[in-house]
Amino acid sequence: MRAVITGGAGFLGSHLCDYLIARDWEVLCIDNLVTGAELNVSRLLANARFRLVQHDVTRYIEVSGPVDYVLHFASPASPVDYLKLPIQTLKVGALGTHNTLGLALAKKAKYLLASTSECYGDPEVSPQPETYWGHVNPIGPRGVYDEAKRFAEAMTMAYHRAHGVDTRIVRIFNTYGPRMRLNDGRALPNFVHQALTGQPITVYGDGRQTRSFCYVSDLIEGIHRLMQSNEHGPTNIGNPQEITILEFAKRIRTLTGSTVPIVFKPLPQDDPRQRCPDISKARRILNWEPKVNLEEGLQLTLDFFRQQVAAGNRAG
């Protein structure tokens, strides 16, 4: 089996590359390395079944030979990144999705779109089932990501209905684990970095907003099961263990053994007040649910971040 993974040098994309290479797939990883990094796939480069091509998928994608699966994971995904890269984010969700669907059509390949819980915006329903249409501000700062992904879902369904492409859509909720960038601006890397370097932990707003954090290995397992299923409608994959951001900050502080203060900063515009996946569909059709609890997952992630901080200290 041969897969094309866009964004394959990013956090989730690189874990997916590892997973498929370990299962004897051939993987062509396409990434423009804007938020991804070659280091994430460096261990795979020596493998004859793996290839990394630096390319921006908003431009025509040329792939020779057969392709069995196209997995479109390319996009900035941290709010800080997509606020810095608003037009690139819209383009990769729109033009990148069009190009990757075109590739799947031409190669008669199956297709999986990495979509997001941001499709639900600032949800008025919790937990969020796939049937909820969402509550998104299209012209707010987060709209560049939310609307790009909503367009991407619409385009994916259009290729499925009009061209018969065998498509899947995964709505990914907050995920964490090794290879997140320490400086990507998201809550987990920020809190861990702050705790490990003796800086105050910055909680935005009053910290009562909630998120539900899924460990990366659980997420990849869910995606693999979705790839093998015949489900075309969007499917939530995430961990339904919901936690307030203030509590999350405290857990990270305790786990790192740090005593830094927690300081409150302004809440970014349109920051969702609550987020929790309803995973009954994934449980039912994929027989999937997360296995790694927050304590275990944070411990594994912390080991990775400790090495990163130590490497940064050595370099700096």
Q: How far apart are CA 225 and CA 204, in angstroms?
A: 35
Binder among 255, 271, 285, 304 for ligand UDP (CB under 6 A): 271
- How far, in whole angstroms, is CA 141 from its chain's centroid? 19
In the numeric block, the tokens 């639900």 are attached to: 120
Please report whether residue 204 would count as binding ligand UDP according to CB under 6 A: yes
Per-residue contact flags (x/-) with ligand UDP for residues 20 to 59, judged by CB under 6 A:
----------------------------------------
Please report whether residue 134 would count as binding ligand UDP according to CB under 6 A: no
Which residues, other chains included, contact 60 with Cβ-Cβ below 8 Å and sequence gap of 6+? 99
Binder among 16, 44, 94, 187 for ligand UDP (CB under 6 A): 187
Per-residue contact flags (x/-) with ligand UDP for residues 144 to 183, judged by CB under 6 A:
------------------------------x---------
- Span of 1-9, 101-109, 199-207, 225-233 interacting with ligand UDP by CB under 6 A: 199-207
Q: Burial of 261 by CB count in 10 Å (0-12 exposed, 13-18 middle, 19+ buried)?
A: exposed
Q: How far apart are CA 94 and CA 306, in angstroms?
A: 37
In terms of DSSP H, where are the helices of 7-142? 11-22, 79-84, 86-107
Q: Which of 231, 218, 262, 180 is nearest to 14 (CA)?
A: 180
Binder among 6, 89, 128, 209 for ligand UDP (CB under 6 A): 209
Cβ proximity of 115 and 136 under 8 Å:
no
Please report whether residue 3 would count as binding ligand UDP according to CB under 6 A: no
- Span of 10-18, 102-110, 220-228, 265-273 interacting with ligand UDP by CB under 6 A: 265-273
Please report whether residue 256 would count as binding ligand UDP according to CB under 6 A: no
Please report whether residue 253 would count as binding ligand UDP according to CB under 6 A: no
User: Angle 70-238-148 (CA atoms, 0-180°, nearest 5)?
Assistant: 50
Q: Which of residues 71-100 bind ligand UDP (CB under 6 A)?
A: 78-79
111 is catalytic: no
Cβ nearer to ligand UDP, comparing 50 with 176: 176
Are β-strands 242-244 and 210-212 bridged in parallel, bridged antiparallel, or unpaired?
antiparallel
CB atoms within 10 A of CB 311: 10
33: left (phi over 0), alpha (psi -120 to 50) or beta: left
Cβ nearer to ligand UDP, comparing 166 with 271: 271
Please report whether residue 268 would count as binding ligand UDP according to CB under 6 A: yes
Active site residue ranges: 145
Positions in the binding site for ligand UDP (CB under 6 A): 78-79, 174, 186-187, 190, 202-204, 209, 211, 245, 267-268, 271
